[in-house]
Structure 1
């Protein structure tokens, strides 16, 4: 969960998000080095001491500043492609959940159970309990077992939505008539908050997402109680 005046990314709750944070730091360091080099060259060129024929007309320098950007792009592209393939991998998921976006709430269907489905609405501000987050709490949470591969099938019923949970490193569009999929593994128990990241209408900011990761035995107890209600 983000905190006031936070500058960096949220704490990672999945292996993919950990990789994304490492890649962010890696790319940021490259940008910092490029900015420093460019600033040094500008200062050197302004100075009459370094403004000479060797700097202004040099085949060697032209070769360097042609090859160097290509090397930098490779250094950024390789880890980026690796993470893209990791995000697309879905190896024998233990649980499949279908998330359907509506104006303006989410509904969840647990495909491995016959009658386990529910709608998830935002809790109005006046109904919040002490300690709950405004515009982020829902009446029913998407409960998943921790340390288990989870597959989420994402679609929409009316307009384009986007199912996004920053701590899990997931942001997937929910498109009517199309079934997108994403996968994640929660590395620790807890509640992870997200929101629809697509401008889907007047109440776009009032359809939050809450993913609650619990130990397997607690998930089994929760699923049993939900099936009894159904």
Structure 2
């Protein structure tokens, strides 16, 4: 049966609203978690807090989408109320035989297109900001394994260590034995790969999430603007202990980072097999 213009318009409207709600939900999934903000918070219905320029842009995009969604929802609700009050059987005992209205048909086609274009422009700017890597001050390689992360600092000598979930530290399920340490206000390039199955390296506070694929080297970047501990998790279902594969990033000052590098060179470079042995013990 041929679809009427009115039915097409209603389906188009519902589909557009679904796209808008889906985009907002996707943006909301990038909320950040720091050491001071882990766990549920009173009236915590928004982001937990940003710690990078990219996450700042994601928050702005999310706020804009919420405004668009709210306006559209209120508008559609008002139209439904008007239709129920003015065009019910009691108010119109003789139903209208109107088949279509050219101006309305044009309006509900052009206006959604303009709204989508308005959403697309800042979306493309955000994607460009995320994918256009600036000149890095520090490079870190994160290798996903079942079920822990191995971090390498190619710019700072032979520093390589494993990072496993810590059972005796807080916060539960997020603390690790060896954190990824980076300096504040520095551009950090993160090279990401995997050795066995697909993992995903994601730190919500920095607005980053990139797949760790065996045989492929992906990369992303962040610039931490706050000191402290920030947490993420493997975001790709990778097997039995997927839920026990947290990511902990400690952001420190330049002086503290320089001191940590010297300590890490002695701790990890002196016996690089220690980390592998500890990882094997933890999996038993």
TM-score tier, shorter chain, comes to: over 0.9
Rg larger in 1 or in 2? 2
Match of 1:202 in 2: 240
- Give the Å deviation of 1:74: 0.8
Task: Calculate the aligned-residue CA RMSD, in Å.
Answer: 1.7
Confirm or deny that 1:107 pairs with 2:107: no
Match of 1:98 in 2: 141
Question: What runs of 5+ residues in structure 2 fail to find an aligned partner?
Answer: 1-32, 270-284
Say which SS state the counterpart of residue 121 (structure 2) adopts.
Answer: helix
Match of 1:165 in 2: 203
Confirm or deny that 1:212 pairs with 2:245: no
Q: How many residues align?
A: 225
- Give the Å deviation of 1:53: 5.9
For the Cα contact (< 8 Å) 1:10–1:166, is it kept in 2? no
Confirm or deny that 1:191 pairs with 2:234: no
Question: TM (normalized to structure 2)?
Answer: 0.76
- Aligned equivalents of 1:102 and 1:181: distance in 2? 17
Say which SS state the counterpart of residue 47 (structure 1) adopts.
Answer: helix
- Aligned equivalents of 2:192 and 2:97: distance in 1? 59
Match of 1:3 in 2: 39
Say which SS state the counterpart of residue 86 (structure 2) adopts.
Answer: coil
- Aligned equivalents of 1:21 and 1:83: distance in 2? 11
Question: TM (normalized to structure 1)?
Answer: 0.93
Question: What runs of 5+ residues in structure 1 fail to find an aligned partner?
Answer: none
Say which SS state the counterpart of residue 93 (structure 1) adopts.
Answer: coil
1:35 pairs with one of 45, 56, 73 = 73
- Give the Å deviation of 1:194: 0.5
For the Cα contact (< 8 Å) 1:164–1:170, is it kept in 2? yes
Higher helix share: 2
